[in-house]
Amino acid sequence: MNKLININNVSTGYKNSNETKVVGRDISTSLHRGELVCLLGANGAGKSTLMRSMCGFLPTLGGEILLNDMNVERLSDKILAKQVAVVLTDKVLTDNITVEELVGYGRSPYTGFLGKLNKEDNNIVTRSIEQCGILDKKDRQVHSLSDGERQKVMIAKALAQDTPIILLDEPTAFLDLPTRVDVMQLLRELASKGKSILMSTHDLDLALQLADKIWLMNGDGSFEHGTPEDLLIDNAIQNIFNKDKVAFDPKTGAFQVNHKYKFQIDVHGDGFGVLLLQRALSRKGIEVNITSRKSDLYIAVDDYIKPTFTVHFLGEKLEQFHKMEHLVAKVQTMLARELVQQ
């Protein structure tokens, strides 16, 4: 595969006259044509700093970032503009700007002195807007759009810039879940069509499912990269994100909240009802034992059409519940009483 960006032993950070602050060190990796890469790491691990260095906003503190074998820092803004397009977290402040106008500014590296768009430019603008699925919004004012739509406008701008590489700084932050998936899938699709895309994100689940590669930044400045699966096999992702409150669940391939349990309760049954019961009780610190043992206190879940829950106490059917809310309240009081009696 074709390497577009090569990062060799790069240290990133900030330097002013009296001090140097290194954020990321010894970063070596590469970005290939047609890849979607997600850059993961905790806040402050240096994701934005690395991205800023990659698009020439910030000089590196050591090592080199090569773009088609040319050092990014030596390229002029004009040349870089045709290689790397960015989508930033900065909000576009302009008032009175339509979607079409904003995406049109993406053509700036190619237009003349007055920035006038020719027929081909206009075609590219329309195509970019269409690819992002917002063609019906092209005459709308950008500030009147939803956050997700606005993010797509910025992606369309990046497409209109017609660069092989697109860098996005947390494009899914502040979006609701369906919109996040929507934006990620759009990027996935663009990568499949040949764009090389690097995005920083906190959406671990989505990144693991959709990214070709993951770049991981540890809080201590170290750096790891690979396919999501390889990183999982090597425990790299788990090491970063496993803390006492969150744990990687190898069964679901997703991260789960770690609960602290004070009580245990036996549950008979299986299926959706049990899963929900488990979640509801976990929140209250009650751990569920799925079993068929007839203990003093257990809950039987009947998953027929709509789950119903029956509390059995000392061998008798105590009460039947259709609402989780009422069931949890009942179980809580019973367990609390038991605690007092002991």
Partner 1 sequence: MTENSSISNGIPFTTKVIGLILLLIILFLGNLILGSVHIPLPETLKVLLGQSIEHRSWELIILRTRLPQAIVALSAGMALGVAGLFMQTLFHNPLAGPSVLGISSGASLGVGFVVMVAGQVFGLSFSTIGFWGDFSVVIASMLGALGILMLILFISRKIGGTLPVLIMGVMVGYLSNSIVGILKFYSLEEDVHNYVIWGLGSFSRLSLTSALNFGFVTVGISLLTIFLSKPLNLISLGDRYAKNLGLNIKRARFVIIMTAGILTAVVTSFCGPIIFIGMAVPHMAKMLIKTSNHIKLIIMAGVLGAATALLCSILARMPGLDNALPINSVTAFVGAPVVISVIWKRRKQ
**Contacting positions for partner 1 (CB under 8 A):** 55-57, 76-78, 80-82, 84-86, 88, 90-98, 100-102, 104-106, 108-109, 111, 113-115, 117, 122, 139, 141, 161
Nearer to partner 1, 162 or 212 (CB): 162
Residue type, 244: D
CA-closest candidate to residue 28, choices 60, 64, 1: 64
Shortest distance, position 303 Cβ to partner 1, whole Å: 51
Shortest distance, position 161 Cβ to partner 1, whole Å: 7
Residues 6+ apart with CB under 8 A from 278: 267, 288
Shortest distance, position 17 Cβ to partner 1, whole Å: 12
Nearer to partner 1, 69 or 77 (CB): 77
Count Cβ atoms below 10 Å from residue 71 Cβ, excluding itself.
Answer: 11
**How does strand 165-169 pair with strand 196-200?**
parallel
Shortest distance, position 125 Cβ to partner 1, whole Å: 9
Count Cβ atoms below 10 Å from residue 120 Cβ, excluding itself.
Answer: 10
Shortest distance, position 50 Cβ to partner 1, whole Å: 15
Shortest distance, position 259 Cβ to partner 1, whole Å: 42
Residues 6+ apart with CB under 8 A from 120: none
- Provide the 3-class DSSP secondary structure of residue 17: coil
- Provide the 3-class DSSP secondary structure of residue 314: coil
- Provide the 3-class DSSP secondary structure of residue 293: coil
List, in sequence order, every residue forming a beta bridge with 213; answer none if it has no partner.
37
Nearer to partner 1, 8 or 111 (CB): 111
Nearer to partner 1, 86 or 267 (CB): 86
Half-sphere exposure of 280 (CA within 13 A, CB side): 17
Nearer to partner 1, 165 or 281 (CB): 165
Beta-strand runs (E) in the chain:
3-15, 20-32, 36-41, 62-67, 70-71, 84-87, 165-169, 196-200, 213-217, 223-226, 246-249, 254-257, 263-268, 286-290, 297-302, 308-313, 316-321
Nearer to partner 1, 101 or 303 (CB): 101
Nearer to partner 1, 19 or 77 (CB): 77
CA-closest candidate to residue 31, choices 84, 88, 74: 84
CA-closest candidate to residue 138, choices 327, 271, 128: 128
Shortest distance, position 57 Cβ to partner 1, whole Å: 6
Nearer to partner 1, 80 or 281 (CB): 80
